[in-house]
Amino acid sequence: MQTYSPLFSDFYQLTMLAGYFAEGIHETPATFDLYFRKPPFQGSYAVFAGLKPALDFLENLQFGDDDIAYLRGLNEFTPEFLDFLKHFRFRGKVTAMPEGTCVFPREPLVTVEGTLAETQYVETALLNCINFQTLVATKAARVTTAAGRKSVLEFGLRRAQGPDGGLSVARAAYIGGIRSTSNIWAGKDLNIPVKGTHAHSWVMSFPDELTAFRAYARCFPKNCILLIDTYDTLQSGLPNAITVAREMRERGEKLLGIRIDSGDLAYLSKEVRKAFDAAGFPDVLITASSDLDEYVIDSVNREGGCVDIWGVGTRLATCAGEGGGALGGVYKLAWCNGLPKLKITNDPSKLTLPDRKKLWRLINPDGSFFMDVISLEREVPQPGDRVFDPTAPLLRSRIIPDNVRFESIRHTVMENGSIVRDESDLACLADRCVSQLERLPEGSLRLLNPHLYKVAITAGLNDLRTRLLRELQQ
Ligand SMILES: Nc1ncnc2c1ncn2[C@@H]1O[C@H](COP(=O)(O)OP(=O)(O)OP(=O)(O)O)[C@@H](O)[C@H]1O
Ligand SMILES: O=P(O)(O)OC[C@H]1O[C@H](OP(=O)(O)OP(=O)(O)O)[C@H](O)[C@@H]1O
Ligand SMILES: O=C(O)c1cccnc1
């Protein structure tokens, strides 16, 4: 388990907390929802991840003497408030999607209930954990979808956003389908299989390429993948690798594969495949790397490239690409002291969904997903109900058909500040992601202009929001 500082928050959370305390309203009951408004990478879905570290933070939130001393030194807070902080814990309830679930805009992915003080203070940490890991898991799902059944290795540590970023990348990428990493720290801490090849420097530190390949094969006879593009892929690296493959065979060993790290990966992988096949080595695996992402992998595959293993680093770890960079997940007050709360803005897409809610996934008879419906907590939507587009309820509505099954897809994961549903086995989360992606409507996984999954709100929720809007506008 990762441990985080209790100061893993923005200063304004603490000033608000101090203010609530001074006003005597810090124990007012409150409910916040965490959600995003737009799927990343111009896609149709996101893969939910980052819950476990967020829950670990909540469960262990406790200010130590050194934290209090630091805060006292800021000369902003009263002794009474600092004393209150000594005993401050998160004792609330959390309802959330399971990690590895496909999720969509406006759905409450996490709902936090508790006192105003505790629910407010944890906003930043929850958003930090969930925004980043959900973004990386989504990128990983896009990359593995493009790679088809071929395996993908995560090589992102050197370009990740700091050491902790590198660990989070390995975890979230695993959930999204990339089941091995070059990051040995993640291997130990998260039990993710570690894999790798060698760098150009290995080849350059020997007098010549063939000597370097022979030495690597001697050192790692069971796991030998030779990087063949240091000098000239087709004229030098390839023939030298075939020589080593023959020598290994004579010793009763087997060259596992080669890696190409530059140039036209479609053309080069086809030439390399032909040469190894002709030399009697149809099992030698071809690994490709070099600024890969879902688009390059898709392009190489469309051109008939012969890549068996994809090594993906920078663009995965930094979530590069149109609509990438950051997931804009937000955390908004939905209910406070018995009253539903609404935030209005000039941008209708930023209107919040008030009150305590439930999230339903409507499942077709064949098990595929039909649409998601957000209802008020007390509502149970039924076939035949009219449901509304959350951003344009006047323009778009539809009737729920008779043949769908309703599944309430969130669970209580924390009660009274203790984790009550712990999903630590990353392999189960990754398996869930695979099965979720298979159940999305046709066209949802397309890279260009994918089919957009429908998320609707019930008439009850729509009516409540319309009423609150009118009241606030008056
Ligand atoms: N068949 C292909 N289709 C689409 N993109 C490709 C294909 N083959 C390679 N690429 C991408 O093209 C880019 C290759 O760029 P470039 O040739 O400048 O770099 P490089 O060959 O990797 O050389 P170096 O690593 O020495 O900078 C990489 O981003 C790679 O992912
Ligand atoms: O391209 P990525 O997806 O980030 O994959 C990881 C990269 O890291 C290594 O090289 P590095 O980038 O350090 O140097 P290079 O580009 O000169 O090979 C490796 O050879 C890959 O190219
Ligand atoms: O093992 C590799 O080939 C590797 C590891 C990290 C980055 N690039 C490549």
Q: In this structure, is the dihedral angle defined by the CA atoms of residues 410, 443, 36 and 163, taken in order, positive or negative?
A: positive
Q: In this structure, is the dihedral angle defined by the CA atoms of residues 178, 179, 181 and 184, taken in order, positive or negative?
A: positive
Q: How far is the CA of 296 from the centre of ligand 1 (A)?
A: 9
Q: Of all atoms in ligand 2, which is nearest to the CA of residue 290?
A: 1
- Bin 69: left if φ > 0, else alpha if -120 < ψ < 50, else beta: alpha
- Atom 3, ligand 3: residue with shortest CA distance: 197
- % the chain with pLDDT above 70: 100
- Atom 14, ligand 1: residue with shortest CA distance: 263
Q: Is 261 in the pocket of ligand 2 (CB under 6 A)?
A: yes
In 423-461, which positions are buried (b, 16+ CB within 10 angstroms) versus exposed (e)?
beebeebbebbeebbebbbeebbeeeebeebbbbbbbbb
How far apart are alpha carbons 23 and 227 in whole angstroms? 65
Domain range list for the chain: 11-137+324-473, 196-312
According to DSSP, the residues that pair with 257 across neighbouring strands are 225, 285
Q: Of all atoms in ligand 1, which is nearest to the CA of residue 267?
A: 1
Residue 153 φ/ψ, nearest 5 degrees: -110, 140
How far apart are alpha carbons 130 and 330 in whole angstroms? 10
CB 328 within 8 A of CB 37: yes
Q: Which of 219, 216, 218, 235 is nearest to 227 (CA)?
A: 216
> Of the residues 159, 229, 260, 290, which should be mutated to test ligand 1's pocket, given the most ligand atoms within 8 Å of the CB?
290
Q: Is 456 in the pocket of ligand 2 (CB under 6 A)?
A: no
- Atom 12, ligand 2: residue with shortest CA distance: 290
Q: How far is the CA of 199 from the centre of ligand 2 (A)?
A: 9
pTM for this model (two decimals) = 0.97
Helix (H) or strand (E) holding 455: strand 455-458
> Of the residues 182, 220, 315, which should be mutated to test ligand 3's pocket, given the most ligand atoms within 8 Å of the CB?
182
Q: How far is the CA of 346 from the centre of ligand 3 (A)?
A: 48
Per-residue pLDDT of 211-228, as tens digits, reads: 999 999 999 999 999 999
How far apart are alpha carbons 434 and 440 in whole angstroms? 11
How far apart are alpha carbons 145 and 196 in whole angstroms? 21
How far apart are alpha carbons 437 and 429 in whole angstroms? 12
Which pLDDT value is given to residue 350? 87
Which pLDDT value is given to residue 1? 64
**CATH H-level superfamily of 196-312:** Aldolase class I (3.20.20.70)
1.10.1060.10, 3.20.140.10, 3.90.550.10, 3.90.650.10: CATH of 11-137+324-473: 3.20.140.10
Q: Is 265 in the pocket of ligand 2 (CB under 6 A)?
A: no
Which pLDDT value is given to residue 392? 87
Q: How far is the CA of 45 from the centre of ligand 3 (A)?
A: 29
How far apart are alpha carbons 336 and 331 in whole angstroms? 14
CB 192 within 8 A of CB 174: yes
Q: How far is the CA of 205 from the centre of ligand 3 (A)?
A: 17
In 111-130, which positions are buried (b, 16+ CB within 10 angstroms) versus exposed (e)?
bbbbbbbbbbbbbbbbbbbb
Q: Of all atoms in ligand 2, which is nearest to the CA of residue 316?
A: 3
Which pLDDT value is given to residue 150? 83
Per-residue pLDDT of the chain (474 residues), as tens digits, is 678 999 999 999 999 999 999 999 999 999 999 999 999 999 999 999 999 999 999 999 999 999 999 999 999 999 999 999 999 999 999 999 999 999 999 999 999 999 999 999 999 999 999 999 999 999 999 999 999 988 999 999 999 999 999 999 999 999 999 999 999 999 999 999 999 999 999 999 999 999 999 999 999 999 999 999 999 999 999 999 999 999 999 999 999 999 999 999 999 999 999 999 999 999 999 999 999 999 999 999 999 999 999 999 999 999 999 999 999 999 999 999 999 999 988 887 889 999 999 999 999 999 999 999 999 999 999 999 999 999 988 888 899 999 999 999 999 999 999 999 999 899 999 999 999 999 999 999 999 999 999 999 999 999 999 999 999 988
Q: How far is the CA of 336 from the centre of ligand 3 (A)?
A: 50
Per-residue pLDDT of 334-384, as tens digits, reads: 999 999 999 988 887 889 999 999 999 999 999 999 999 999 999 999 999
In 321-346, which positions are buried (b, 16+ CB within 10 angstroms) versus exposed (e)?
beebeebebbbbbbbbeeebbbeeee
How far apart are alpha carbons 111 and 119 in whole angstroms? 10
